A and B are shown apart, each in its own frame.
Chain A
Amino acid sequence: MVTELSFSQEVTNLMYASHGEPITHCLQCGTCSGTCPAAEFMDHTPRALIGMIRADLKDEVLASNTYWSCASCFYCNVRCPAGIDIAEMMYALKRYSMWKGQSREGLIGPDFSEAFVKMIVNSGRSFEPLLAATYLPKFSASDIIQEGLTATGLVLKGKMPLLPKKIKGLKNFQRMVRRIIPIGEPE
């Protein structure tokens, strides 16, 4: 008999490897949000987001910028009195959002992560200039100029890679990836 999973259960299911305390244990004490260095840039604090997940407010949660503003510094994890793996929960929400293609307009995170993974599947190593295409279009004009200046400075110091690298065992690598999820060109 198929039972509908609640949003809260779906999120917990996306936290497979870490076996973090399920978010049902949350006391709503607010330690995570009091600690989070990015909290003031989030529209909902981490604690509020957990409350919203438990109330099954799926669309509001996915539309929030909170989980895309998580720096995964894990400070919330080590202080949480209920031992909840909050940073992992933020990752779970990111994965949920990518899976459903549902997130707030104008955020850089989704495109950036997707481009990053695609880049790795194509070459096995990261190459910063390629990623710029994902976020520069979303920057303001002055920020683009700033970024350009920063990048130039790095190039002059010899710190910016100018050519992408590929790993040698790339074909096997790509077949390995396809055993997990079907991305990249088939043979």
Chain B
Amino acid sequence: MDWIEQAIFTSAETDRTSGYQVVAASPGIREDDVRELAAWGPSHGALLDSDAGGSSLNAHPLPSGGHCVSRTTPAGWEYSGRGGARVYTHCLVVPPQILARFANNPFALWRAVVANGSVHVYQEIPRRLEPVRLPGRAAAVDTALLAQLCANPGPQWMATLVQAALDSVTLAIIGGPPAENVIAGLVNCLPPGCRTEFSFSTGLKFSSRRPFRVVALSADRNEQRRVERLYNVAVLALSGDPPVGFAPVESWPRLILRALRSGRLSFLESRMAIHSGEISLHELPAFGLQMLEELDASALNDDPSDQIAVVAEEKTEGLRIVAEADLQGDDADDAAGAVGGDDAADEGPPMIAPAPQTQASRRWTVAHGPQRRKSAAPATRRRCTPPPCEHLDLGDRAVLEKLERLDDLVFDSIAGKAAALEQLKELWPQLCEELEDPLLAESREHYLRHALSAWGQHGKPDGVRDPNAAVQLLEVLCTLFQ
């Protein structure tokens, strides 16, 4: 069995120096890891809540390849007599294979360590600490926690948080349920293989010296404004409606939204358990699409009548497409939830509180009533209106070739080829004359999605984006939408 090394970072007077330092460590910790612990270690006044009950759970990677999972608490007084609480951080240096046993979930690992009786707040800090052995494992998803978060802040907010976490270099969260729950929920909403990419702290003041990817912010408006002004930090206040800028548009956040909305937590858990550790952040979009298909397929297999309900709701919305509904707030899923759509077939535990009934679902209940569910014919779930491609005369090779040419030009233009953009500017007006409006609209929608996706993948690891690429993208979109 592998060992977990441990260290304590706090303020004390030692033989080496005085003040905040790594005051004790078990012998197996590498020197570069110790220095990293000192760099990330929170010092005086770093806790958001410095009262006795305040604490922060933190996790970040280490140079050795392991991960630091730490708990910061106030512990006694500053040794130098300058007032204020002493900030005490107990760090565990966790090898990747042990963290993987706990589904790469630092919260689950910390709970296990506490249950094991392996961590203490030492009043007299020992000169030497011993490594910890930690048996056991954890489930891929904490369904109880997710069910709790479905009630507050709700599935839409959780999906928005996932989208924001994926999009942002740093995500700062204000308000809502306790930050530890929200961030633990966010971790649970990610596949285990991706979780180690998301360093976090649940109760430390933000500092660029500790570049956690997900942080909680206090209610202090000055502190919030300071962080809002920082570059590459997205600030989300968990109150009111989720911001449109982080609407769940990518496949994984959409999956989370639909799974949480429909209460299909055990679907999420089972699939994450199967693919535990396999999926990296890079592969997440493709995995998300695959999971969405699996979610649809399992819903179809479970209860075909549920699809009727969805279709009935969709028809009330006219030309709307369910995929679009996902983008705009998942009204369709709400409707399905209200009438026992694909939620009804769910094998997962019931949610503590169901998602609120939206206008769309109310509309369905009033206008059509549940009796329509039996009478409507099963149909494809994705589209309720004749797909735009039906406007095409498939025998018209010339049109198909033009569309293929259009695809090539748009993709090349988005990729930055100036010549392709020039040709697109000539071809697009011609196609606008020749093609039906629905087909044009669908084409625009797909190209817009591709442009957003390309922009999302364009950022460098430090979040810096090339303005030339932005201008090129804007030009392509302007051409297509004018």
- Is the pairing of A and B real? no
Binding site for B on A (CB under 8 A): none
Binding site for A on B (CB under 8 A): none
